[in-house]
Structure 1
Amino acid sequence: MYSRVEDILKEKGNQIWSVSPDDTLLTTLLKLAEKNVGALLVMDGERIAGIVSERDIVREIALHRACVLDAPIKAFMTEDVITVNSQTTVDECMQLMTRAHIRHLPVVEGGKLVGIISIGDVVKKVIEGQASMIDDLEGYITGDKFGR
C-alpha cells in the first residue's frame, strides 16, 4: 500500500509555525531560527496568504542588495502556495516538489490548514518504504517470511 500524507502527519504531528503578512523580516528570521525550520506559512487569519522560506529571503536580499529588517514579510513571501491533502501519496508529493522546485507543502482538508510537510519528511517516508520492501523481498527469497 502506498504511503500518504496522513501517514507523515501521524508520525510528525500537525504543528504549524506561521507569521502574519505584516510581521517584519526580523521577526520572521527569529522565528525560523527559534523553531529550527526552513519555511513558515504566512497566515492572514485562517487563510494561507503565502509561504516564506530561507531561500525566498536570501533571493530577495540578493536582488535588492539590501536587507531591511523592518520590511514586512509579505514583500518576501511566495503568494501562489501549492497545497496537498491528507490522501495525496508520498510519491505524488515527491513529484510535485521536484517539478515545482519547492521543499514544503501545506496540507489542507476541506479548506482548512491541517499541517505542513517538508521534503525531509517525504524522503524519510520513501526510505522507510524501500527498507520495508527490501525486508519483504529478503524474507521471500530466504523463505523466512513464510515459515519455511
Structure 2
Amino acid sequence: MTTVKLILDNKGYEFFSINPDATVFEALGIMADKNIGALMVIDGDGKLVGMFSERDYARKIILHGVKSKEASIVDYMSTELHTVNPDTSVLGCMAVMTDKKVRHVPVLDHNKLVGIISIGDVVNTIIEDQKATIQDLEKYITASGYGHQ
C-alpha cells in the first residue's frame, strides 16, 4: 500500500510558507516564483495557522474586488485545515481531498508540519502504481503462456 510518506520521499519534504501578517500580493509572488498552488501560513511561534491557495485568491479576493496589495493573508486564508499523516494511504488521502473538496493537504507527523500533498501528487502516484500493476500483469500473462499463439 502506497502511503503519503512514500509520496513525500519521492517529491521531497520541502514546503513554502508565509506569515499571517503578509499581504496577499506577497503570497502570490511566492506562489508564482515557486510554481505552487498553496502556501502554509505559519505564525511567529512556528505554528501552522492556515493555508492560502489559488482557490482562496480566486474566491475571496478577485470575486470581491479586494486589492491584493492591501489585503492581509490572515483575513483570507483558510483556517479549517484537513490534514493527513505520513502513514495515511494514498487512497485515504484522495478520500480526504474528495470529501472535503480541497486540492492541498498539509502532512502532520505528531502535530508537526512535515510537508504538503497536492491532488497532482496523488494522481501521479496512482498513475505510477497502475503502470506497475499493468507491467506485473503483462509479465504474468506472458510467463503463463497466455497471449501466445
Residues 104, 119 of structure 2: 8 Å contact kept: yes
Q: Which residue of 1 aligns with 2:42?
A: 43
Q: Which residue of 2 aligns with 1:20?
A: 19
Measured in 1, the distance between the counterparts of 2:49 and 2:3 equals 25
Measured in 2, the distance between the counterparts of 1:68 and 1:51 equals 16
Aligned residues: 143
User: Secondary structure of 2:42's match?
Assistant: strand
Q: Which residue of 1 aligns with 2:57?
A: 57
Unaligned runs of 5+ in 2: 145-149
Q: What CA deviation, in whole Å up to 9, does each residue of 1:8-49 have, x standing for no partner?
A: 011111101000110011111111111110000111132111
User: Secondary structure of 1:50's match?
Assistant: strand
Measured in 2, the distance between the counterparts of 1:62 and 1:22 equals 19
Measured in 2, the distance between the counterparts of 1:64 and 1:138 equals 54
Moved over 6 A (4+): none
Q: Which residue of 1 aligns with 2:140?
A: 140
Letter in 2 for 1:25: V
Q: What CA deviation, in whole Å up to 9, does each residue of 1:44-101 have, x standing for no partner?
A: 1321110010110111124423324121111111001111110000011111111111
Measured in 2, the distance between the counterparts of 1:124 and 1:63 equals 31
Residues 24, 71 of structure 2: 8 Å contact kept: yes
Measured in 2, the distance between the counterparts of 1:39 and 1:66 equals 19
Q: Which residue of 1 aligns with 2:112?
A: 112
User: Secondary structure of 1:143's match?
Assistant: helix
TM-score by length of 1: 0.92
TM-score by length of 2: 0.91
Measured in 2, the distance between the counterparts of 1:100 and 1:110 equals 22
Matched, 1:33 2:32: yes
Letter in 2 for 1:119: I
Q: CA RMSD in A?
A: 1.2
1:91-130 to 2 correspondence within 5 Å?
91-130=91-130
Q: Which residue of 2 aligns with 1:79?
A: 79
Unaligned runs of 5+ in 1: none
Q: Which residue of 2 aligns with 1:69?
A: 69
